[in-house]
Amino acid sequence: MIRALSLTAALALAPLSSALAQDAGRDAPAPGSAEARLEAASADFEARMERFSERAEAISEDESLTDEQKGVRISALWAEHAPEVSAFTAEATRMASAIAAEALKDIDIDALVSQALNDPEVQDAIQRGASAAQGVAANSAWANPDPEQIETYELIAQYALDQAGDAVEAIEPPAPPEPPAPPAPEARN
């Protein structure tokens, strides 16, 4: 049970761990940045998960409890911490887009795309792709009206129409609404 809970917590933290992996030579994130906020939130969350782990281990090592009792208590403990895991995961997800925006703010995407498209290998690949597309268009069955191919297309189209017709016929129309009740006669005095 503890292994399953630990695995769940680890899976919740997996996207975060790669985002927070730092090179030894890299500067610390700027104070107030999304990355700094995420690191602070993750340190706090990690401390809470350590406390969870200690409590779960204490329960699992308690020999006075049956396996069923241990499972119930650990499940209750997990239920106590599950909202924290969900909240942290949601917050990390929200911060991920801010971190990406901060990382990309100084990158000139248009210049990167232009540079990539001007690469001779890319130009060659584009030219080969265009030539291949022209060959396919010129040699396809649509460009060469073969009577057998036309008959095949007609059969495929008829089959599709028949399937659509069957589907429409299978739909039952809704029942008509009940007519309104006649008005009650007015009482005369």
**pLDDT value at position 19?**
47
Q: What is the percent of the chain where pLDDT is above 70?
A: 69
User: What mean pLDDT is predicted for residues 135-159?
Assistant: 75
Task: Answer yes or no: do 145 and 61 share one domain.
Answer: no
The torsion defined by the Cα of 143, 147, 150 and 152, in degrees rounded to 10, comes to: -130
Task: Answer yes or no: do 44 and 115 share one domain.
Answer: no
**pLDDT value at position 173?**
66
Number of domains in the chain: 2
Task: Answer yes or no: do 10 and 91 share one domain.
Answer: yes
User: What mean pLDDT is predicted for residues 145-172?
Assistant: 80
Residue 151, domain extent: 111-170
pLDDT in tens, 50-106: 888 888 888 888 899 888 988 888 888 888 888 888 888 888 888 888 778 777 787
- Among the ranges given (15-29, 87-101, 103-117), the one the predictor scored with the smallest mean pLDDT: 15-29
Domain membership of residue 45 (yes or no) is yes
